[in-house]
Amino acid sequence: MESKSFIRDGLKLKSTSILFLLLSITQMTLLTAGHYKPTWESLDSRPLPQWYDDAKLGIFVHWGVFSVPSFSLSSEEFSSEWFWYDWKGWRYPGVVNFMRKNYRPDFTYADFAKAFTAEFFNANEWAKLFQRSGARYLVFVAKHHEGFNNWDSKYSFNWNSVDVGPKRDIVGELMNATRSQTDLKFGIYHSLYEWFNPLYMRDKSHLFLTQDFVEQKTLPELYELVNKYKPEIVWSDGDSEAPDVYWKSREFLAWLYNSSPVKDTVVVNDRWGSNIGCHHGGFYTCGDRFDPGVLLAHKWENAMTIDGHSWGFRRNADLSDYLSIEELLQTFVKTISCGGNMLMNVGPPHHGHITPIYEERLRQMGSWLKVNGEAVYASRTWNYQNDTETPSVWYTKKTYAQNTDIYAFVFHLPEWGTLALGAPTVSKKTQVTLLGHNMPLSFRPAPSQGLDIFIPPLSISQIPCKWLWVFKITAVTN
Ligand SMILES: *[C@@H]1O[C@H](CO)[C@@H](O)[C@H](O)[C@H]1NC(C)=O
Ligand SMILES: *[C@@H]1O[C@H](CO)[C@@H](O)[C@H](O)[C@H]1NC(C)=O
Between CA 341 and CA 127 the distance in angstroms is 20
Between helices 170-181 and 123-132, what is the axis angle to 10°? 50
Residues 287-295 have a mean pLDDT of 96
Which residue ranges have their beta carbon within 6 Å of ligand 2?
293-294, 386-388, 391
* pLDDT top residue among 409 and 3: 409
Residue nearest (by alpha carbon) to ligand 2 atom 9: 391
pLDDT at 16 over 80: no
pLDDT at 329 over 80: yes
Ligand 1 site-directed mutation target among 176, 186, 225, 230, most atoms within 8 Å of CB: 176
Summarize pLDDT for 165-194 with one digit per residue, the tens: 999 999 999 999 999 999 999 999 999 999
What is the three-class DSSP state of 387? coil
User: Selecting from 2.60.40.1180, 2.60.40.10, 3.30.2400.10, 3.30.360.10, what CATH number does the domain 393-476 have?
Assistant: 2.60.40.1180
293: CA distance to ligand 2 center in Å? 8
Summarize pLDDT for 116-150 with one digit per residue, the tens: 999 999 999 999 999 999 999 999 999 999 999 99
Identify the nearest ligand to the CA of 389 by its number: 2
Using a 10 angstrom Cβ sphere, with 0-12 exposed, 13-18 middle and 19 or more buried, the burial of residue 175 is: buried
Summarize pLDDT for 431-463 with one digit per residue, the tens: 999 999 978 999 999 999 999 999 988 888 888
What is the three-class DSSP state of 227? helix
Q: Read off the pTM.
A: 0.92
Identify the nearest ligand to the CA of 295 by its number: 2
pLDDT at 1 over 80: no
CATH topology of domain 4-375: TIM Barrel (3.20.20)
Using a 10 angstrom Cβ sphere, with 0-12 exposed, 13-18 middle and 19 or more buried, the burial of residue 61 is: buried
Between CA 127 and CA 471 the distance in angstroms is 31
> Residue 98: which residues within 8 A CB-CB, separation 6 or more?
69, 71
pLDDT at 12 over 70: no
169: CA distance to ligand 1 center in Å? 9
DSSP line for 65-121: GGGTT----TTS---GGGHHIIIIIS--HHHHHHHHHHS-TT--GGGGGGG---TT-
172: CA distance to ligand 1 center in Å? 7
Long-range contacts from 292-297, C-beta under 8 angstroms, 24+ separation: 292/338, 292/340, 293/334, 293/338, 294/338, 294/385, 295/338, 295/339, 295/381, 295/385, 296/338, 296/339, 296/340
DSSP, res 217: I
39: CA distance to ligand 1 center in Å? 36
129: CA distance to ligand 1 center in Å? 20
Pairing of β 393-400 and β 403-410: antiparallel
Summarize pLDDT for 363-408 with one digit per residue, the tens: 999 999 999 999 999 999 999 999 999 999 999 999 998 899 999 9
Identify the nearest ligand to the CA of 294 by its number: 2
Domain boundaries, the chain: 4-375, 393-476
Summarize pLDDT for 292-323 with one digit per residue, the tens: 999 999 999 999 999 999 999 999 999 999 99
pLDDT at 78: 83
